[in-house]
Amino acid sequence: MSGKSIGLSDELHEYLLSVSLRESDVLRELREETAEHPESEMQIAPEQGQFLQMIVRMIGARRTIEIGTFTGYSALAVAQALPETGTLVACDRSETYTQVARRYWKKAGLADRIDLRIAPALETLDDLIAAGRQEAFDFAFVDADKTEYPDYHERCLALLRPGGVIAFDNTLRDGRVAEDNPESESVRATKRFNESLHSDERVHLSFLPLADGVTLAMKK
Ligand code: CA
């Protein structure tokens, strides 16, 4: 027994998946296709997709945002958990990656729930704010340029209703955030971001050692 989270051996991770993962066929196909991709490490873990679905259902989210779509796994997971009238604004810069995403969203019959915006995410978020969509959203998943997390956080706080939840991915950075002075500027940016969230009184906070670290911030 320990007060800290248990480390997951490969065996224990496999066990956890074997008794809990409920991944639709289309999500599994998308994950398997993306595994062949040279940047496949950008795809979230399947249990993480299921966790995002749980948050969406727990808070009754209808309008959602995703920052960093890649080949569309997390967007599809969220879209599957939304009610029929639910929507997801998906932000990504890459036409190439998101072509895969569009193909699978269509295959899943959920393409009409997802509004893909190909542009720098901050532009899209500022457009939503300029269009008067403040406090119109319930949930945001942030998984893009790590140096821009503070800016995504501010935009999402403006766009989410009180009680809305932001999930930030990769807040553990393969463990490198625990180093005193990490070599990578991107990892140093994550360290600064984690520290700034810790003292941010505008949100309730929970930092989960799930996959590469997922931090939940609920707008007060
Ligand atoms: Ca990620």
* Cα–Cα distance measured from residue 177 to residue 130, given in angstroms and rounded to the nearest whole number: 35
Residues in the 5 Å CB sphere of ion ligand 1: 143, 169-170
Distance of CA 91 from the midpoint of ligand 1 (Å): 14
pLDDT at residue number 175: 96
Q: Of 105, 59, 56, 101, which Cα lies nearest the Cα of 82?
A: 56
Distance of CA 19 from the midpoint of ligand 1 (Å): 24
Q: Where are the domains of the chain?
A: 10-219
| Cβ 149 vs Cβ 193: under 8 Å | yes
pLDDT at 76 over 60: yes
Distance of CA 175 from the midpoint of ligand 1 (Å): 14
Q: Of 51, 62, 70, 107, which Cα lies nearest the Cα of 87?
A: 62
Distance of CA 24 from the midpoint of ligand 1 (Å): 20
Residue 7 or 79, more confident: 79
- Give pairs for 117-121: CB < 8 Å, separation 24+: 117/89, 117/90, 117/91, 117/92, 118/92, 118/93, 118/94, 119/91, 119/93, 120/93, 121/67, 121/68, 121/91, 121/92, 121/93, 121/145, 121/148, 121/152
* Cα–Cα distance measured from residue 24 to residue 125, given in angstroms and rounded to the nearest whole number: 30
**Percentage above 70 pLDDT, the chain:** 99
Residue 1 pLDDT class (50, 70, 90 cuts): low
Residue 99 pLDDT class (50, 70, 90 cuts): very high
pLDDT at 98 over 90: yes
Distance of CA 54 from the midpoint of ligand 1 (Å): 18
Give me the CATH topology for the region 10-219.
Rossmann fold (3.40.50)
Task: Tell me the whole-structure pTM to 2 decimals.
Answer: 0.97
Distance of CA 1 from the midpoint of ligand 1 (Å): 30
